[in-house]
Amino acid sequence: MVSKPPTTAQLKYLRLGRFQPGGKLPLFDPNGQQISAMTIRSCIRKGWAASWFKNPIKPDWLVCKLTEEGMKTVDKYPDRH
């Protein structure tokens, strides 16, 4: 089965976790803007990100980490913006 390549938003999000300890994906981009929940959920559905833990203070926040498949995806598209 061939899956569609990641969108620009998905790829930018996934790249943020590539060199973080444990592949931790941020809640906010480098400009301080919250990452879209739609982008995060789509990456989870594709298997590129996985829920890491529930935040008891902010239960609506999606705290995730990069999966092995997510790392492969980031490496597969190194020059896409």
Asked if residue 64 belongs to a domain, the reply is yes
Per-residue confidence of the chain (81 residues) as pLDDT tens digits? 457 899 999 999 999 999 899 999 999 999 999 999 999 999 999 999 998 877 777 777 788 999 999 999 999 988 765
Domains contained in the chain, number:
1
Asked if residue 81 belongs to a domain, the reply is no
Asked if residue 2 belongs to a domain, the reply is no
Asked if residue 53 belongs to a domain, the reply is yes
Angle (CA) 17 14 72, round 5°: 95
What pTM was computed for the model? 0.86
Domain of 47 in residue numbering reads as 8-76
Q: Which residue has the tokens 């620009």?
A: 8
Asked if residue 58 belongs to a domain, the reply is yes
Asked if residue 3 belongs to a domain, the reply is no
Asked if residue 23 belongs to a domain, the reply is yes
